[in-house]
Amino acid sequence: MELNTIFLIGPQGSGKGTQAKLLADNLGFYHWDMGRILRETSQQSSDIGRTVKDLIDKGILLNDDLLLSVAKAKLLTITPETGVVFDGIPRRLGQAEFLTSFLKAQGREKFFTIFLNLPRALSLQRLLLRSQQQKRADDTREAIELRLRQYENDTLPVLDFLKTQGVFYEVDGSPSVADVTQKINSLLKVQ
C-alpha cells in the first residue's frame, strides 16, 4: 500500500487534529493543519488576512473561493513527492473536487481517507471543554453549534465523494487517543 496522501475527516472535537499530527509525525509526512494555516493567514495585515480573521472569530467557515486561494498558495510550496496528511480540508464537496483534481495533476494517484466518526453530543462536550481550557475566541457555544450544523450540512456529503477517490476507512473517534491511533495505524498497516 503506497501512502502519500491522506485525508483525515471528522466533526470538530473528534480528535482529527491530534490524530493527523501523530500520523504525520509517525510517517514523516507534512501535517496540513488547515486551521493553523488559516490562523497564520489571519495574522497577516492584508485584505485576505483581515477577512479570514473576521470569519474565524465569528466561527464561520470560509467560502470555497477564499479557502481555496489560501490552500492553493500553500499547496504550491509542497513537492508532489512529499507525503501529506490533510486535516481540516476538504470540508465541502467543491473543496474535495478541487483538491483531488489539483493533487492528481501533481501526480498523486492514491488517496486514503480516514473518517473519525463521533456522536454530536460528544463533539459538543469536547469542544466546550476545549473552550474552557484554551480560551479560544471561536469556541463559544453558539459558534460551536453553528460549526456542527455546517459540518453536518456541508462535510458529510464529502465522504461519499472521497469513497470514490481511493481507500476509505471509518474509525470510531470516541475512544482514547492511544486507542484511535492504534486503530488508524492498524488500518494503514504502519508501525
Mean predicted lDDT score pLDDT of the chain: 90
Q: Residue ranges of the alpha helices (H) in the chain? A: 16-27, 34-42, 47-58, 64-75, 93-105, 120-134, 141-150, 156-163, 177-188
* CATH homologous superfamily for the domain 5-188: P-loop containing nucleotide triphosphate hydrolases (3.40.50.300)
Task: Over range 61-81, report the average pLDDT.
Answer: 88
| pLDDT tens string 106-132 | 999 889 999 999 999 999 889 888 888
Distance between start and end Cα atoms, the chain:
14
Q: What is the pTM of this model?
A: 0.87
